[in-house]
A and B are shown apart, each in its own frame.
Chain A
């Protein structure tokens, strides 16, 4: 089987397969809050700025709601300057621990996948 798909369009910068984003969004959202409390649009903008694509509110908010229920983030409403108020999300101690754990696991996982996907690595080494 060949994986060469000349007809497949090149993905645009920041447009990743949706299942990749689904798998990593939780970790990325925790990372976006590591520097301090933030709100929905700022989290989405931060992820987009870092080349991770445009995350929809319909994807981000349910995740943050689940994290709030799990005690990984705490929320606080603050009055807006001109528009509506803003709901700020902040990492709790448990959320910070979860971020560290996920970050370490993710680094191990990506090292393993990158090593395995390495083009120079013999693909049939088991048969050698």
Chain B
């Protein structure tokens, strides 16, 4: 069935609301399919038949899936990946130039803002998704903090609060990036799926589900992938 534009918007909102309620993908697929079935039978608009998507999602009282990707291990491993990646990027250029790794308190505080924004994600995720301006604001704050941290980075060891040898930190952060990604891979494989929204009439081991799994596995290796790319570029141009 082709979905009209207002209905598409309604279904998009319904899926977001159910995701925010940590309803698992199979139950969301069931809800969407049964709503589509009724609309096909009655010819009604989704809003007329079911009311506002947010209210309808709440009225279904579907059970929460505690293994949700929005919380728990997924968030903390992403946060760990980000912290280690930030450390890797800080150590890379000094290592290539044969210089020590320098830190100033202001620089670390600004890097901490980005880490804090991610760590507190569960507190404001719902509000950020419902209000795109808030999401934009958070991205702007994260971007500004990242830029300012490079501005206030110390140029010489005399200006630095902390002076570290770059090579061990570079090697250590690279190893930690691989470990975090390995942990992500094990977690995704143990779970066996990425909690895709599935059509209730579709076979469980469909190609779509497998491709979703592959995508989740690749996503888990993005930090090491970018780190490798940066390492290659710096080695070519700065060494």
Give me the interface of A with B, judged by CB distance under 8 Å. Answer: 39-41, 44, 56-58, 61-62, 65-66, 69, 77, 79-80, 83-87
Contacts and interface: CB of A to CB of B under 8 A. Distances in A.
Contact of B34 (A56, A61, A66): A61
Contacts of B42: 41, 44, 57
A46 to B, nearest CB: 13
Contacts of A44: 38, 42
A85 B49 contact: no
A40 B51 contact: no
Shortest beta-carbon contacts, A-B, top 9: A41-B41, A58-B50, A62-B59, A57-B49, A85-B201, A58-B51, A77-B200, A57-B38, A87-B34
Contacts of B39: 57
Given A65-B60, A84-B1, A40 B33 contact: no
Nearest to B201: A85
Given A56-B48, A80-B37, 7 more contacts: A41-B38, A58-B49, A62-B61, A69-B61, A77-B30, A79-B201, A85-B33
Nearest to A56: B49
B70 interface: no
B1 A83 contact: yes
A77 B41 contact: no
Contacts of B56: 58, 62
Nearest to A39: B37
A66 B63 CA distance: 10
Contacts of A61: 34-35, 38, 50, 60
Contacts of A69: 61, 63
Interface string B189-213: 0000000000111000000000000
Interface string B34-70: 1111111110100011110001100111110000000
Given A40-B38, A57-B38, A77-B33, A87 B200 contact: yes
A83 B60 CA distance: 24
8 contacts: A39-B37, A41-B37, A44-B38, A56-B51, A57-B38, A84-B33, A84-B36, A85-B199
Nearest to A79: B201
Contact of A40 (B30, B41, B48, B61): B41
A44 B55 CA distance: 20
B200 A58 contact: no
